[in-house]
Amino acid sequence: MKFYSQFQRGLIILIGSLLMLPVASCKSGEEKASSAKENGVNPGGKMEWWREAKFGMFIHWGLYAVPANDYEWHMRYQKKSIAEYSQYAKQFNPTQFDADEWAKIANEAGMKYMVITTKHHDGFALFDSEASSYNMVDATPFKRDIVKELAEACPKNDVRFGTYYSLMTDWGHAGGAMGCDPWDPAQVGDLDTYFNTIAFPQVRELLTNYGPIAELWFDTDGPLKPTPAQTSRIDSLIRLQPNMIVNNRVVPGDFNNAERHVPAQAIFGDWEACDMIIDNSWGYREYGPENVKPLSELIHQLIDVVSKGGNLLLNVGPKADGTFPKESVERLMGMGKWLKINGEAIYGTGRSPFDYLPWGRCTRKGDRLYLHVTEWPQDGDIVVPMPNEVLSASLLADPSHNQLAYETSKGELRLQLPKDPPDSIATVIVLEVKDEVQPVHSLACNKPSFASLDESKSKFAVDSDPYTYWDVIDPKPAWLFVDLGEAATFNTVRIGLSTGKIHEFSVKCWKNGSWETVFSDSDLPRGEYVKTFPPVTSNKVWFDVTEFDSGKTCRINSFELFDAH
């Protein structure tokens, strides 16, 4: 049932627009990030190696590799008791495990750090622990300390060593926190006792017995967080390694996490995206070739994350025999090959000044811009929306630095590219430009906005922070209205959806006294959605959400307009 008629909605929107007050100007990720440093968030020193590194290896390995189904959630999905699940320890004998080989693969992939699950939610430790004999040395025929061997092998291969520890979930010990009701009476116990006898001693062991830990990655299987008292105990443990950086998923940390998706907008401050090579499984499971992400997708993801100011922690799920899946190694070698040629455009670079580019992404370092062209132009040209004087323009992979032809007009740079891309996955052009490059934001950025219900949050759909959001809620249709003030010309809409299902939607603009549909579409994907269309000029835009999953959170983190070409 339509809650408002089309006319009523239009009227409300128009009245609403007259009430709009101007709001704060738009800040780019870089501007916000720099203010973060000034505010003392993420102090420069210990983050510097990480901001240089950009690319790391995540490893999910444990008893769950033995059954190789339901991956690292096998115990919970199959509701295995501790007694049943721990039987896998007797079979876990990874005779082909070679820490040096793993570290070499990470290094050859261009990965600068490694983070391994020293203890996942199942409670089984890959290291020799006095706190619990449920570990690799005491409970398996292998009897070796995996963490020790990797902590020694990584630095020898120019890879920093990091540890993941499931702090707020332990299905394998009495009293361990968990994001659901216990399914085995042996799991029932007191959380503080568990923390004091298992978790805190094990974190102390990890931060004391294995040399410098570059990154500590705390995890949970749900919304659980430690109490302030528990957090202060954890902080005192973290201080054992003052140069170590910590994620902020469980305790206040040094960087944000984005799991298995890259937000449309750059995340404020330091952040790390974690994702997998073999889809839908962190820990090893039987898979087919269709489950292995294409090399192009992985390289594009790395570029996308880095262009938005983040690091990519890319996961490998080793098999029970101690080897990496063959296809994972193939993909990593392909990424390493690309980085050997283009690493200058990734390592140590900062986020793009341009919030959106139709042909690819941009990273920057000093007075250099690196244009990562992933959509090679049919007509041979790409446009960079900046008026800056160009000092040089060449293909990064061209050792002779032959200059590319270009012209600048109307505040834009038009580069003429070779007919065919030197690298079909991503070709990098390096520009040296004069003066600071000014950020280019969405035309809707922080413009007055108005929405159906949840109106107070409509402004969060048009700000520049992907962590803020406008929730699409019943009754249908839900809508977001943006008043651009001055009429503007745009040909691209980018929408960031983080959770929920939007089935039918359209974008309209106010023209000649009525609403005209710019486009309609269905099934808005999670992450980044981009739609281009012939340029339209208007001062009012309406995002009309007509069908979506009711009763569930439907979260729009960004609604952006660009005049991109």
Binding site for ligand FHN (CB under 6 A): 72-73, 219, 221, 259, 274, 282
- If the CB atoms of residues 317 and 322 are measured against ligand FHN, the closer one turns out to be 317
Question: Rounded to the nearest whole angstrom, what is the least distance from the CB of residue 72 to ligand FHN in the complex?
Answer: 5
Q: Are the CB atoms for 271 and 257 separated by under 8 Å? A: yes
The answer to whether 291 and 284 are in contact (CB under 8 A) is no
Judged by CB, which is closer to ligand FHN: 237, or 313?
Answer: 313
Strands (E), 277-337: 310-316
Cβ proximity to ligand FHN: between 119 and 364 the closer is 119
DSSP state string for 113-155: EEEEEEE-TT--BSS--SS-S-BHHHHSSS---HHHHHHHHHH
394 - beta bridge partners? 403, 430
Which residue, 118 or 157, has its beta carbon nearer to ligand FHN? 118
Beta pairing partners, 409: 412
* CA of residue 328 relative to chain centroid, distance: 19
- Quickly count helices (H) and strands (E) in the chain: 14, 22
Buried b / exposed e over 22-31, threshold 16 CB at 10 Å, is eeeebbbbbe
Residue 274 C-beta: closest distance to ligand FHN, Å: 5
State in angstroms the smallest separation of the CB of 77 from ligand FHN.
Answer: 11
Nearer to ligand FHN (CB atom), residue 86 or residue 118: 118
CA distance 84 to 81: 5
Is the Cβ of residue 219 or residue 560 nearer to ligand FHN in the bound state? Answer: 219
Q: Which is nearer to ligand FHN, 72 or 304 (CB)?
A: 72
H-assigned helices in 132-286: 136-139, 146-156, 191-194, 200-209, 228-238
Q: Which residues of 168-194 are buried (b: 16+ CB within 10 A; e: fewer)?
A: bbbbbbbbbbbeeeeebeebebebeeb
Q: How far is the CB of 164 from ligand FHN (least distance, A)?
A: 7
Which H or E element spans position 210? none
> Which residues have a Cβ under 8 Å from the Cβ of 253 and sit 6 or more positions away?
218, 245, 246, 247
Question: Is 259 or 286 the residue whose CB approaches ligand FHN more closely?
Answer: 259
**What is the maximum alpha-carbon separation in the chain?**
77
Please state the closest distance from residue 237 (CB atom) to ligand FHN, in A: 20
As measured in angstroms, the least distance from the Cβ of 256 to ligand FHN is 13
